């Protein structure tokens, strides 16, 4: 069942007003974007009349949004929301309230699924761009390597004829082997992000298996309104060789 959350009292609102600078990025973002649409958009992910009330999905989404904004793990964002008043204020929690725990955040992302999350994310960034919170001066594109939750030593080697990027018996069958460098490999995924250089807001995200070349996801990350883009050389287009 979808839960709801009470708004901070006037007393705690005064504390937030006093301690969070008016020019803080999260204040600007909250002023520019009305996040209330999230609750309606995710209502179909919850049973309307059965089960215990959950965390308010608006609170959970804002925590996950901060997680992407600051590139943090589930445990790290839980700690940051508990420690920093600006993050707690942005999510709608009162100062004495604890943040949703990391396992709750993981279940929430699974409940939404990537397509629903992407839809909400795109609407927020679109609104931020409309009001000038996102700059068109420069985009920074980079990738983070995400290790799959698989113990490679416990898995049997692939049979003859299996593509080398695959690992039969893996609990995460969509993961693939990729390379961090000439000498280092990893098994998992790549998270590609485009970042607005002026505000550090993430404007686009793409997740691929570890064996997908960076150059293949360059175009989907580009906003044609951006005047300049900076990346590492891995995103350079692969040259074609004529016969």
Kindly list the distances between the CA atom of residue 107 and the CA atoms of 8, 100, 149, 225, in Å, as whole numbers in the listed order.
25, 11, 16, 35
Strand partners, 139: 196, 229
Contacts (Cβ under 8 Å, ≥6 apart) of 88: 81, 82, 94, 95, 97, 99
Q: How does pLDDT run across 211-240, given as a tens digit for each residue?
A: 999 989 988 888 888 899 998 888 876 554
The torsion of the CA quartet 223, 191, 38, 64, rounded to 10 degrees, works out to -130
Measured distance CA(197)–CA(195) in Å, rounded? 6
Give the other-Cβ count within 10 Å of 223's Cβ.
15
Confidence of residue 160 (pLDDT cuts 50, 70, 90): low
Listing DSSP states for 191-211 in one string gives EEEEEETTT--EEEEEEEETT
Three-state DSSP state, 136 = coil
| 91-139 tens-digit pLDDT | 999 888 899 998 999 888 888 887 888 888 888 888 888 888 888 899 9
pLDDT at 67 over 60: yes
Beta-bridge partner residues of 196:
139
The pLDDT tens digits of the residues spanning 32-44 come to 889 989 888 888 7
Instruction: Answer whether residue 53 shows pLDDT above 80.
Output: no
Q: Give the integer Cα–Cα distance in Å for 203 and 140.
A: 10
Over 50: is that where the pLDDT of 186 sits? yes
**What's the token pair of residue 117?**
């999350």
């Amino acid at each position: 069942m979808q839960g709801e959350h009470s708004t901070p009292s006037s007393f705690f609102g005064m504390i937030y007003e006093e301690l969070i600078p008016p020019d803080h990025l999260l204040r600007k973002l909250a002023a520019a974007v009305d996040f209330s649409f999230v609750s309606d958009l995710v209502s179909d992910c919850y049973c309307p009349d059965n089960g215990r009330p959950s965390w308010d999905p608006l609170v959970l989404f804002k925590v996950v949004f901060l997680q992407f904004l600051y590139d943090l793990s589930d445990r790290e964002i839980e700690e940051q929301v508990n420690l920093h008043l600006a993050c707690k204020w942005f999510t709608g929690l009162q100062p004495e309230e604890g943040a949703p725990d990391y396992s709750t955040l993981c279940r929430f992302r699974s409940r939404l699924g990537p397509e629903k999350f992407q839809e909400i994310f795109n609407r927020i960034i679109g609104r931020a761009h409309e009001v000038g919170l996102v700059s068109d001066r420069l985009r920074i594109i980079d990738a983070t390597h995400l290790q799959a939750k698989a113990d490679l030593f416990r898995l049997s080697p692939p049979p003859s004829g299996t593509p080398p990027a695959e690992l039969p018996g893996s609990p995460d069958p969509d993961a693939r082997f990729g390379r961090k460098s000439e000498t280092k490999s990893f098994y998992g995924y790549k998270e590609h992000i485009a970042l607005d250089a002026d505000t550090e807001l993430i404007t686009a995200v793409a997740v691929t298996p570890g064996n997908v070349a960076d150059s293949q996801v360059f175009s989907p990350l580009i906003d044609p309104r951006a005047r300049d883009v900076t990346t590492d050389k891995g995103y350079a287009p692969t040259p074609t060789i004529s016969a």
